[in-house]
Amino acid sequence: MAVDRFARSKAVFERAARVIPGGIYGTKSPGFLIPGKFPYYLESASGARLVDADGNTFLDYLCGFGSQIVGYGNPAVEKAGSERSARGDLLNQPSPLMADLAERLVSRIRGMAWTVFAKNGTDATTLAVSLARVATGKRVVIAAEGAYHGAANWCSSNLFPELSQDREDLVHFRYNDLEGLEALFRRHRGRVACVILTPHHHPAFRPQVLPDPELYPAVRRLCEAEDALFVMDDIRDGFRLHPEGSHVRFGAEPDMVCVAKALANGWPLAALLGTERVRHAADSFFITGTYWMSGAPMAAALACLDEMDRMGGVDRMETLGTSLREGLEAAGREAGFEARVSGPAAIPYLTFDEDPNLYLNQRFCGAMADRGFFLHPHHNWFVSLAHTEADIESTVEAAREVFAEMKAGRA
């Protein structure tokens, strides 16, 4: 009789579903993965490896949805965070580390003059949009179709009619469609507060798209003409595309930059950075949250920034990601599949040209999960500095087996 390798995960889920809506909600819901092929609960992690509630081990390419950049449990980051925590994490006032980290970020993220801290990416994007509205005295926010900017009502996929007012002034254009973007500016002339974009387009369930070279110059020009602001949502890409902010890689000139995820290697911390132009609005805006200035994540962030540089940073992830992309595409071709890895090398996502409906993705990622590789079928992947050349080789080798099985109809 076959043993269910996720028996404990499922048993916990059954209990959870009685007391937690959906059992596990949001992006971590089993329904976003492939139920029965991936674990629902994880117990521990180290480097690039996860251990689930049933004791199964996975080589991980989701990296805590991008938050792990120097590896799970990185000793330097954990030491810094834990030591700060032992001396007091959440206190009445921030620790002096807050100024240290702000200085470090402002000097590192190109073009930025100030920063404020929060917890989640949604905090940072929501704050950015609010500041843009206050600074410009206008309401309309322009975003790309399918882009994810968080789980707040102004931008989330909770399209309930009762919440429609919250999204009233959010309008969309097709990513890279410059004419569509210009048309939106024309239609909402005098009302546009900001454009918010991710450095590259990473919609769920679809191949990723790199920015057209004309996109960011056009965004800057249109924003200047409209006296609107440009917000770069660098939460997912941040620190993987360019050490000074992903906007530098693509030649973009934002007025505000949102970072989170990799900033503190999984310690809860987000930051919004801005130019002088927006400082007055940020000065006058009431910005707070009980946990937003806790010290331990800031200590972890300072250590994480050092570790990123020490471990090879963007260049190393680019090299590893390129090997992964080339290996997977070649393995797919050998088996007769048009498997294509889209996006920047450090943030890859594999889809099949011949299958826009993702049946092949689900077969591929399910079979890879059977072999102990955590490759999300519906969300982009991440390469981290904890991955090694040997990890990439073993992934490509396993993929070669899976493609062959898929071709033979066994997977």
Partner 1 sequence: MRPFLDDLSAVELRVLARIRLAVTARLAAAAAAHDPGLAEHGSRPFRLALRVPGLPRAFVAKTEGPVTAWAGGETPVQRLPPDLTLFFPSSRDCARVLDGSAGRVFPIPGGWGAARALRYFRAAAASAPRMLRSPDTPAVLRAALLLEAAMSALVETANADPAMAPRLAHAPDGLVVVDAGGGVRRALRKEGGRLRSVRVPEDGQDAVLAFRDPESAVAVLAGKKSAVTALGACEASIRGLVPLVQGLFAVLDRASRYLAVKAEKEAGHGR
Residues that bind partner 1 (CB under 8 A): 10, 13-14, 17, 21-25, 29-32, 34-36, 40, 157, 159, 161, 164, 204-205, 356-359, 362, 378
Minimum distance, C-beta of residue 204 to partner 1, in the bound complex (Å) = 8
When the beta carbons of 17 and 225 are compared against partner 1, the nearer one is 17
CA distance 384 to 391: 11
Residues 6+ apart with CB under 8 A from 155: 125, 126, 129, 143, 149, 167, 170
What DSSP element (H or E) covers 184?
A: helix 178-187
DSSP string of 22-33?
A: TSS-GGGSGGGS
Minimum distance, C-beta of residue 16 to partner 1, in the bound complex (Å) = 9
As given in the structure block, the two tokens for residue 13 are 């889920």
Minimum distance, C-beta of residue 56 to partner 1, in the bound complex (Å) = 16
When the beta carbons of 6 and 230 are compared against partner 1, the nearer one is 6
Residues 6+ apart with CB under 8 A from 210: 200, 201, 343, 344
Minimum distance, C-beta of residue 171 to partner 1, in the bound complex (Å) = 13
Minimum distance, C-beta of residue 10 to partner 1, in the bound complex (Å) = 7
Amino acid identity, position 65: F
What is residue 174's three-state secondary structure? coil
What phi, psi does 260 have (nearest 5°)? -165, -135
Q: Alpha-carbon torsion 293, 296, 301, 303, what sign? A: positive
When the beta carbons of 316 and 378 are compared against partner 1, the nearer one is 378
Minimum distance, C-beta of residue 31 to partner 1, in the bound complex (Å) = 4
Minimum distance, C-beta of residue 169 to partner 1, in the bound complex (Å) = 14
When the beta carbons of 96 and 356 are compared against partner 1, the nearer one is 356
Amino acid identity, position 185: F
When the beta carbons of 30 and 266 are compared against partner 1, the nearer one is 30
CA distance 37 to 212: 37
When the beta carbons of 30 and 71 are compared against partner 1, the nearer one is 30
CA distance 273 to 146: 24
Minimum distance, C-beta of residue 160 to partner 1, in the bound complex (Å) = 8
When the beta carbons of 14 and 179 are compared against partner 1, the nearer one is 14
When the beta carbons of 35 and 289 are compared against partner 1, the nearer one is 35
* 351 bridge partner residues: 340
Q: How far is CA 238 from CA 36, 152, 246, 271, 391, in A?
A: 32, 20, 6, 11, 23
Length of the chain: 411
Q: Alpha-carbon torsion 305, 69, 239, 229, what sign? A: negative
Minimum distance, C-beta of residue 181 to partner 1, in the bound complex (Å) = 19
Q: How many Cβ atoms are within 10 Å of 42's Cβ, its own excluded?
A: 18
When the beta carbons of 93 and 357 are compared against partner 1, the nearer one is 357
